[in-house]
Chain A
């Protein structure tokens, strides 16, 4: 393998691990990132000339520590920098062996997802630092200009250093909230990937699953962490079947089950069982349980409705109410479902799934007039031609029947 190809592979696989190890030693996010970048540039020169080292990660870590010492020397006027040099020189003298480098990525995840940072910044920083996406790739996720995203990432790293955001796993008192902040970032990355489909060069759903697996490995015994990975797997396993050949979004019950990844489903269900056995329920376990119920031979709607009601305790949002209302209608209580929909109508004015569900339930309760109006609103709000065509076919069927 050429030095370039090897370096690219190491950085793709182990950038997060290297960066975490460097931040924990250097104590500064931006300096660690700069040092790693300089070490990578040096690697191309040295590996090309002297051959590839036995341990590329160990080589990069050691080179980056030296680069960081150099950088501190360049502005050593400040006494705290002189202290930093002394500490780093000691680290550098000890031969870094990749087998003994502790995995500091869990600390890095908690830093990147700190609630003192804006949510979008948390997602961007996590993708850049732990998933190794380039700044242009992170910018593309948000449809931002590269320079704008660069500024956002740089501002975040400055705030982490200057405001004293710790590079640490939070104590037991803060852990549940902080873990939820991390899992929310992972889930946002997944849903962004689910909405966009695979991008050129990177797959956000895959990155979210990678992060989620990392969390399960580094923070074992946490039922919400297991619940999050279970949710992602149970959703991803059905990804190929979620759209009809014509391109319309399909509910699980209408999907071609031969397209499901059954091994992934089984893994998700097993994880969910492990999580539930710990008897500390939370929103990710509830969502995973709902996803699991959708994969049964026939969805257990009363049970799904009950789970949405429990999810409302954690996430009292209009979207959860909408899902609860749909499940209640499917469970045989369309009257109660309509009451809920009427209560949340004002919160979701242009939300196509709301109008589509509303239309369907109105039609089923013998109100074709209002159902037609709701279909018209759903069609107006539909994001794709295929979804529009599907809704139009439902409207046509209603007109034919009426």
Chain B
């Protein structure tokens, strides 16, 4: 089964760029694919630029409306994702538990729709 793992965290919760903690965290992210071999297969994954760079788009009555943001500072924001192939939810959850964001934010594990 395919699972989408979406990573949420408050902007100030993760280690700051340039600190040794940040480097250690990035090392964990880069090592994740190898570490999880035999549990689940990495298909795709990316980190996102901060939410301040986001643009939200809606189309209403045929007209495109765009908006800067969202910006609420206190909320957890989507910061990245993984797409994995795992035999079942237990394997997907084991992968999710190794993602650093699980420690200072949360990881949502969702099965991908099969058509």
- Per-residue CB proximity of B12-29 to A under 8 Å, as 1/0? 000000000000000000
Number of interface residues of A (CB under 8 A): 11
- Per-residue CB proximity of A143-167 to B under 8 Å, as 1/0? 0000000000000000000111110
CB < 8 Å neighbour of B92 from A80, A114, A164, A174: A164
Tell me, rounded to whole Å, the shortest Cβ–Cβ distance linking B98 to chain A: 13
Chain A residues, CB < 8 A from B93: 116
| Cα–Cα, bound, A163→B92 (Å) | 10
A166 touches B90 (CB 8 A): yes
Chain B residues, CB < 8 A from A368: none
Chain B residues, CB < 8 A from A174: 90
- Per-residue CB proximity of A262-280 to B under 8 Å, as 1/0? 0000000000000000000
B111 touches A165 (CB 8 A): no
A166 touches B111 (CB 8 A): no
| Cα–Cα, bound, A163→B93 (Å) | 11
B102 within 8 Å of A by Cβ?
A: no
- Per-residue CB proximity of B78-101 to A under 8 Å, as 1/0? 000000001111101100000000
B1 within 8 Å of A by Cβ?
A: yes
Task: Tell me the A90-112 residues at the B interface (CB within 8 Å).
Answer: none
Identify whether the interface residues of B are mostly helix, strand, loop, or mixed. mixed
Q: What residue in chain B is nearest A115 (Cβ atoms)?
A: B93
B90 touches A163 (CB 8 A): no
Tell me, rounded to whole Å, the shortest Cβ–Cβ distance linking B99 to chain A: 17
| Cα–Cα, bound, A168→B91 (Å) | 12
Chain A residues, CB < 8 A from B92: 164
B90 touches A170 (CB 8 A): yes
| Cα–Cα, bound, A212→B106 (Å) | 34
| Cα–Cα, bound, A166→B87 (Å) | 9
| Cα–Cα, bound, A360→B73 (Å) | 50
| Cα–Cα, bound, A165→B93 (Å) | 10
Chain A residues, CB < 8 A from B90: 165-166, 168, 170, 174
Chain B residues, CB < 8 A from A162: 111
Q: What residue in chain B is nearest A167 (Cβ atoms)?
A: B88
| Cα–Cα, bound, A348→B82 (Å) | 43
Q: What residue in chain A is nearest B88 (Cβ atoms)?
A: A166
- Per-residue CB proximity of A311-343 to B under 8 Å, as 1/0? 000000000000000000000000000000000
| Cα–Cα, bound, A80→B90 (Å) | 22
Task: Tell me the A166-187 residues at the B interface (CB within 8 Å).
Answer: 166, 168, 170, 174
Q: List 14 A–B pairs whose Cβ atoms lie within 8 Å, in order of A's numbering.
A: A116-B89, A116-B93, A163-B110, A163-B111, A164-B3, A164-B87, A164-B92, A164-B111, A165-B90, A166-B87, A166-B88, A168-B88, A170-B90, A174-B90
Sample of 9 more A-B contacts, CB < 8 Å, known A162-B111, A163-B110, A164-B89: A163-B89, A163-B109, A164-B3, A164-B92, A164-B111, A165-B88, A165-B89, A168-B88, A170-B90
List residues of chain B with CB under 8 Å of any chain A CB: 1, 3, 86-90, 92-93, 109-111, 114
- CB-based closest 4 A-B pairs: A166-B88, A164-B88, A164-B89, A164-B1
